[in-house]
Amino acid sequence: MRDPKINRRRLSARFLSKLMWQRRLVFWLGALFVGLASVGFAMLSNAGQNLFLFEEAKIWWLPLLVTPLGFAAIRWGTRAQAPAAAGSGIPQAIAARDLKSTDDRLTLLSPRVILAKIAFTTLGLASGASIGREGPTVQIGAGVMLQFGIWGGVQREKALILAGSAAGIAGAFNTPLAGIVFAIEEMSRAFEQRTNGLVLYTVIIAGLASMALLGDYTYFGSAEGRVATVHDWLMVAVCGIVGGIVGGLFSRWMLTGSRWIRRWCAPVGLRREVVVALICGLTVAVIGVASGGVTFGTGYEQARGVIEGGEAAPLFWIGKFVSTLASAVSGIPGGIFAPSLSVGAGLGSWIGWIFHSDQAGLVAVLGMAAYFAGVVQSPMTAFVIIMEMTDNHGNVIPLMIAAMLGFGLSRMVAPEPLYRSLADDFLVDLGRKTGRPATSERDGDDRDDEGGAGAREPDTLPPVRVR
């Protein structure tokens, strides 16, 4: 048994350690900056979307010109300035945790990439793209925390990326619990004891910064209604099954389409990529004009309206589904979180309309949980984030069931998880560009706590398994 005096001296030395307080200061400042960046990015992207919708309401044909040209210009600018800023941002954060060296991680999370992500995502929303800012906020949060760690000489890069990603989700949706669950389920698939404190600190500080500027709010308002009757439970099952299948189809088609486009564009390069973006932009524009403009942008207003008891056009979700798919495979920066939640809400509303449900908001929330779980194949994140965003704590079990049904059906349609597969593609592309075999640390060791010396990352890594 250790001498209590020795233990006290060790604790005292650790508490007074300059290195420990330096690390903590880095973590706290980084977390604060993530929260501020999340709020600033939200304001900027909202301004871009509102500008487009304002002009589109006055000139109905404007999207037919602005959206295709905007997609093409954004794709060209992304490829020229920061190729790692393309797409959602979540796969880049996952891939960065898998990489071994700081230089490789900065290829995906450098300040240049982060600034390009902010600028081009905002321009995408200003062009009418069916994208969201939540996935990009994950990449931004991961990049900010990594950069603060580098400046402060902290070697816990994997833990910093994980914490920044969680804080990004928490700040984007004002859902601190969902940020933590996202870090466990999607980003790491594990949760080291010595990492959880860092993730909690970061989420709390980033969340406080966000709340100080925006106040405490629920992202999609408050959903009323409870699952009480046999008919309501039937809605749970139908939403879970249909939402999972449709979400799985989106995941599969997005992954297959992105890979096919990358192979087709490879021999020629940027010219074909711009042509693809132009065609995708035209598709989004035509659907948007035909739908009266409701499929442009994040879909936030439509989803909130349905959840709070309103109605969506019966086929709104189909148009939003195709617009989001076209925006995703175009290669422009932008996430799929908010548009997917909008599709799910519209799908749930449509199911409720078919089955004559008198609880439109409840069915919309169930559709969101099932469809979102089907797309990202992370059921815990799906039901927790939707529960927090809709203030719907009374339907936890039905949301869990819908999310698990969606997850199970999606795995049958799309065996490859979307974000993990896209992350593998980034690793392979990085290996080709650097001329080195891509290597990864799948669920590796995050052990290096704040006061200790810090465990070094492994010297040898298993090769990436390309799906």
Q: Are residues 33 and 164 in the same domain?
A: yes
Contacts with 377 (C-beta within 8 Å, 6 or more apart), sequence order = 251, 407, 410, 411, 414, 417, 418
Number of structural domains found in the chain = 2
Question: Taking Cα atoms as reference points, which of 289, 29, 38 lies closest to residue 140?
Answer: 38
Q: Are residues 48 and 102 in the same domain?
A: yes
Q: Are residues 279 and 410 in the same domain?
A: yes
Q: Are residues 202 and 249 in the same domain?
A: no
Residue 396's pLDDT is 85
Read off the pTM. Answer: 0.85
Query: What is the CATH number for 33?
Result: 1.10.3080.10
Q: Are residues 287 and 350 in the same domain?
A: yes
Task: Please say if the pLDDT value at position 218 is more than 80.
Answer: no
Instruction: Tell me whether residue 134 is in a domain.
Output: yes
For residues 20 and 283, give the distance between their C-alpha atoms in angstroms, rounded to a whole number: 54
Q: Are residues 355 and 250 in the same domain?
A: yes
Q: Are residues 104 and 195 in the same domain?
A: yes
Residue 107's domain comprises 12-214
> Which is higher by pLDDT, 462 or 210?
210
| 186 DSSP assignment | I
Instruction: Tell me whether residue 187 is in a domain.
Output: yes
Q: Are residues 16 and 82 in the same domain?
A: yes
Q: What would the pLDDT profile of 314-332 be if each residue is shown by its tens digit?
A: 889 999 999 999 999 999 9
Q: Computed from CA positions of residues 110, 115, 120, 125, in that sequence, does the dihedral angle turn out positive or negative?
A: positive
Q: Which helix (H) or strand (E) holds 368?
A: helix 360-376
Q: Are 131 and 150 in contact (CB under 8 A)?
A: no
> What's at 79, amino acid-wise?
R
- Mean pLDDT for the stretch of residues 154-182: 81
Q: Are residues 185 and 122 in the same domain?
A: yes
Q: Are residues 209 and 273 in the same domain?
A: no
Instruction: Tell me whether residue 455 is in a domain.
Output: no
Task: Please say if the pLDDT value at position 245 is more than 50.
Answer: yes
Give CB contacts under 8 A, 24+ apart, made by 307-313.
307/220, 307/221, 307/223, 307/345, 307/361, 307/364, 307/365, 307/368, 307/390, 308/221, 308/222, 308/223, 308/361, 309/224, 309/360, 309/361, 310/360, 311/349, 311/353, 311/360, 312/345, 312/346, 312/349, 312/350
Q: Are residues 243 and 389 in the same domain?
A: yes
For residues 343 and 454, give the distance between their C-alpha atoms in angstroms, rounded to a whole number: 44
Task: Please say if the pLDDT value at position 249 is more than 50.
Answer: yes
- Mean pLDDT for the stretch of residues 296-310: 85
For residues 451 and 381, give the distance between their C-alpha atoms in angstroms, rounded to a whole number: 31
- Return the percentage of the chain with pLDDT > 70, whole number: 82
> Which is higher by pLDDT, 66 or 186?
66
Q: Are residues 271 and 413 in the same domain?
A: yes
Q: How confident is the model at residue 465 (pLDDT cuts 50, 70, 90)?
A: very low
